[in-house]
A and B are shown apart, each in its own frame.
Chain A
């Protein structure tokens, strides 16, 4: 008798566990399911912060975009020497970039990773509280537009090098990815199309963003990026308008001395100087300045400095500065006897990485006014001399003010901040013996992307 009950119990024990099925739906709590992460306004705002976190990675605006421009724009042992062991960087400066170059690969991957974050915010913008909605969307648009602009000019031919609407740049992806399908393999959009997208994003951002927004994107930041983009296109009128809007907004001012514009943690308590329009924030817990990593080294006399000491400044570079110009003295050696010299701009291990500062806006307005023979905002001479005076350099006279002088001022002021390659391209200059439109001055589409996406074409020369 007893046994028959037990038998029944045994059967229940074996088959009654079908209720276990629901136990197989384990809810993850460390990483959470995507749906659960997209519920409230706060959720979407957290995704927006995630976008900034994405560019804080050293692979985009925290250094890689800038040093790629500098390394591609310089020649080895010309004005600088790359003395590091990273083959990917050595390839850039020696113009022997391969399709598996890891800089070319990680910049691409990281940029699209952040674009996907931005797209997530934009696609879910209706969940954001109405009071914040426009701003949140505009911040994501600012970052997406900026990234597409920089991708287009690194991986596509220069603006105006042939047909902008035929030259391939990068694929345009404007919605968040939830599944991988055949549609995930997109061909490269044209240089023209990517620039247009960037202009649309940045323009929308410039009108919707507030003038002041903590360390996040502002209307000034969007206008600064637009000014830079139009300048790259040679659209001097629009570039001037955007730059003038930043200056006229009165939010930013040149800091004195020149050195106060750099090394924010060492000399400004970690805050952006008044000159910064937009900068990637770094502190001792979060973020890495790869400008510091590669352009600097540890100086025993200055605690808080670090770096691999890879990119060294040579005499040929120092010779390009005028006498008395503070900017020509803004270099540093580990010791007096050392033969190694570094730029002083990035010695701060935890310094914020500047993306746009006011000096660039004066330079853009000056150049555009000069080229268009106009005086929007102020005269080119005044704008240029503002920067020279700040650096204790002799002001230029009206007679000395030429386009070459303005472009030289730009090189002097913005040295090593990521402008070199793009300025050479837009002014149709040379990198050593290579003309501005040489294939070697365009990054290859990463081999891993070509391998997984058959619709991607490779750049000529690779």
Chain B
């Protein structure tokens, strides 16, 4: 009966639509009187609507019985307008309140003011125009407590991201990345040079927002993989309304941020004359003796004579700065086309991007083409579905790792007397048929001229969803996503590179295929209900993920000529392999939030995760979290304080896990790689640990969110305390067992810190000035590793030690120079009976008698970022700085050769000119002695302060006035200029304090520099046109 009435009334309404209508029109403007184009005006309760046009006007046929219009516009508060008798209705929309923004959380969204967890949000518009290759770089300096280090200026390489400190030693500490609900494939799949970054396959201009889930209450719904934080990336969606076509083109140039000063030819000569003389004095050799160091270096047929092709000491002698030969002004170009729009029922976002970046170091480039389509369709009042799909191809010509002689930046060590080109052949020094043993070390240019290593990856991210609204309050959502990564890597090194690739006498090539298929499904029910003062929402569901990685590889050598570069032409197929590995997760999750009067907030969440990575005895882990909040400003007694517009106190406590230890760590394994001259064989490869499970991080967080002066000042303050136990530690076992290490759950470490976020609207009106600041501290401490000795980094100088932050620099302590003789001094630091350390000093010959001590910490004490944006009429300016304070960098990778008192023939950094001499005794640089170690041993001398403040980005834009745009029939017209890494303030003596060498870095061994190319400084010009 009820249904019949419903049908009848619908019919009635339809009838009345067709008979009684009137036209309502007007304009839509913002509070400043600027017109709003594309605003949505809807007759409430119907699908009848219109969109404001280029002049901000709308026109709408309104049924006679309609009473209310609803106007909405992105970033503005929706407004309901009562229909009166007038047919002219001008609508003014107010800009949306900051604290009412919607935040993406795991499996849903939440209103920020009701949030009880800690989530950092980044809108990509904040970083528009920055020359970022991968989306993880966008977080740098923008999210409190998230430390990002690009590591180097090499394109497409891994970026270190640490959310609230490093909470693991042997397992990976990178956060989990989830794009549109799919945990995507991350990690290193490269076979040449440093670790690759699979996020570089994704067009970050497709990203609408990035949320970093930092505390347990936000993260626990991602269970066993949330301990390192979760980065939720949401791509752009279409909006109902006029089709928007946006084209952006930006082009510019990059330069390395810094050169390090090295000796020029005359400095080199005088420095080494002294060094050789000092060596002869110590050896008791007459410098005129043909066997003396002086003669070896400077004599006829000596080192300089040889490496300069005989030009040393002649009029043809050169003075080359090898550094200039490896850096270049690198052009880049990026074009973006984005089309979005749709109706109330169907919305779409379509985009394409072309990116072409050259590296600031020779031989490095990255090209990427991506396309995306996001579709959402409302089939009827209870069913909706959609698809997100992106395709991309990335061509990355890669550089060798930092520790390869073919690393271009290593050529700074070459003598300035060596000409760039061999005078006989006119080819780069060291190229056959010339003498391949010139220069001092392999000339990296040869590898670039006659070799290449290129990685091509094809990436498809596809995700479909369906959503059923059972009632207004209860919906079911099902998602199925796939992430397919196909990568081909091809390397070829011609016969000319033989000094570097010993088997390349007739050319050598290799080819790697990598196929990663990652499927994921999420199915969950979501319920929400508001009843009077009570608001309740709940989510319950499951997820399943399976990932498979297949690889194959072939190597071959012996090519008829250097023109043949494909392995089909190789005479000997010398090596080949194929591998497979898998992991799977089954998860169940739930969350419930309750709020009373929008004032008292309570949240609980939990996840159960099962994984193929863990032992049969501990396959499922449980990760619960609780949180609560109190919106104090809603209390009557607080409303008396008019300056306080918002105040919320919140706290959370819960468990998250980390399971990033590779696959099958729990199984006893045999490996079939133990053949003997052609006969197949196998061997025991790994011990079983059926009890192996995840690391567990227990995190407590308390914080306040506040808004002052009508939210013109708003912010968040947080304190967190993370305790990670059952570390997935690769522990040493007795070697007599036949094994050396095993993954076990032992040990404990902690991270605690403060976070501050402050956003202010300093000036409003025509001239606007906003400031956004974030600042965070982190204190890391390794509490217990059961006495394991865990070392890594350059010369094993990084150490994990109980009672210390993870990965501290542990080496001998340098005590300066003995003014009497120029000897390097080291503190003994031996422990005396009363427990104090001996501050007695010894010199080189007793170096081994000194004890190693903690001399530095690669983890920053605090990090921060500040962005100021100004706008006046159509001009906008944004100035973004970020900084890192209190971390140390190990420069020994470079220093052991290049700041080493002339121990080898390597060119030296300019600071070595201050070496001790009889007339320069008050110095910290020991006397230069050729082939005699004097202070060049590992010590605190090379542990340098890595703090920096960087002018990360300045961008200045001009939006064409709307009147002009109307004449040009454009929606948007903007020109801008953007400068990135324009200035860096640091005491660090190396190229770049934002460094993590790709060779010596591990999860805990951070802050190593090994001739690592610096990040680029980039100036871009851009134009953005919207139709």
Contact = CB atoms under 8 A, between A and B. Distances in A.
B379 to A, nearest CB: 13
B739 A50 contact: no
B664 interface: yes
Contact of A50 (B382, B523, B681, B686): B681
Interface string A7-28: 1001001110100110111101
Interface in B545-593: 546, 574-575, 579-584, 586, 588
Given A14-B524, A30-B581, A48-B681, A449 B736 contact: yes
A320 interface: no
Interface string B658-688: 0000011001111110111111111111111
Contacts of A283: 677-678
Contacts of A33: 667-670
18 contacts: A3-B468, A6-B476, A10-B476, A14-B525, A20-B584, A23-B546, A24-B610, A30-B580, A30-B671, A31-B669, A46-B681, A49-B675, A49-B682, A56-B677, A109-B735, A179-B687, A449-B736, A451-B732
Nearest to A31: B669
Given A21-B586, A53-B681, 7 more contacts: A7-B470, A15-B542, A17-B586, A49-B679, A113-B738, A180-B734, A180-B739
A173 B737 CA distance: 8
Given A24-B610, A286-B676, A112 B476 contact: no
A115 B581 CA distance: 29
Nearest to A7: B470
B738 A177 contact: yes
A116 interface: yes
B478 interface: yes
B523 A3 contact: no
B789 A49 contact: no
B542 A109 contact: no
B923 interface: no
B591 to A, nearest CB: 14
A26 B582 contact: yes
Interface of B is mostly: strand
Interface in A435-453: 446, 448-449, 451-453
Given A28-B667, A33-B667, A452 B677 contact: no
A262 interface: no
Contact of A49 (B542, B676, B734, B742): B676
B733 interface: yes
A34 B525 contact: no
Contacts of A281: 676-677
B619 A24 contact: yes
A interface, how many residues as a size bin?
35 or more
B426 interface: no
B669 A10 contact: no
A454 B505 CA distance: 51
B266 interface: no
B737 A184 contact: yes
Contacts of B325: none
Interface in B98-123: none
B732 A3 contact: no
Contacts of A453: 734, 736
A439 to B, nearest CB: 18
Nearest to B732: A452
Given A32-B672, A34-B670, A113-B738, A448 B732 contact: yes
A108 B682 contact: no
Contact of A448 (B382, B574, B735): B735
B684 to A, nearest CB: 6
A446 B688 CA distance: 25
B611 A53 contact: no
A176 interface: yes
Contacts, number: 206
A31 B734 contact: no
A197 to B, nearest CB: 14
A37 interface: yes
B684 A28 contact: no
Contacts of A449: 734-736
Given A32-B672, A33-B669, A112 B681 contact: no
A176 B586 CA distance: 35
Interface in A163-218: 170-171, 173, 176-180, 184-186, 215
B733 A452 contact: yes
Contacts of A180: 687, 733-734, 737, 739, 742
B544 interface: yes
Interface residues of B, number: 62
B787 interface: yes
Given A17-B544, A21-B610, A23-B584, A49 B674 contact: yes
A427 to B, nearest CB: 31
A26 B583 contact: yes
A47 B682 contact: yes
Contacts of B675: 49, 53, 286
Contacts of A24: 584, 586, 610-612, 619
Contact of A34 (B575, B688, B742): B688
A287 interface: yes
A112 B677 contact: no
B523 A120 contact: no
A52 interface: yes
A171 B579 CA distance: 36
Contacts of B740: 109
Interface in A286-303: 286-287
Residue among B478, B574, B579, B669 with the highest chain A CB neighbour number at 10 A: B669
A282 B678 CA distance: 10
B48 to A, nearest CB: 27
Interface in B353-374: none
Contacts of A3: 382, 468, 470
Contacts of A397: none
B674 A50 contact: yes
Contacts of B681: 46-53
A446 B789 CA distance: 13
A292 B739 CA distance: 28
Contacts of A119: 738
Contacts of B611: 24
B739 A185 contact: no
A350 to B, nearest CB: 10
A338 interface: no
9 tightest Cβ-Cβ pairs between the two chains A and B: A116-B738, A49-B681, A37-B670, A50-B674, A50-B683, A53-B674, A34-B668, A10-B476, A50-B681
A119 B684 CA distance: 11
Contacts of A28: 581-582, 663-664, 667, 669
Given A24-B612, A46-B682, A116-B738, A32 B733 contact: no
Nearest to A96: B848
Contacts of B679: 49
Contacts of B610: 20-21, 24
Contact of A178 (B523, B619, B687): B687
B738 A112 contact: yes
Interface string A30-46: 11111111100001001
Given A49-B674, A180-B687, A115 B584 contact: no
B540 interface: yes
Contacts of B302: none
Interface string A98-124: 000000000011001101110110000
A48 to B, nearest CB: 7
Nearest to B585: A24
Contacts of A26: 582-584, 612, 663-664
Contacts of B574: 285
A452 B539 CA distance: 48
Nearest to B668: A34
Given A7-B470, A14-B541, A112 B735 contact: yes
B736 to A, nearest CB: 5
Nearest to A45: B681
A116 B476 contact: no
B523 to A, nearest CB: 4
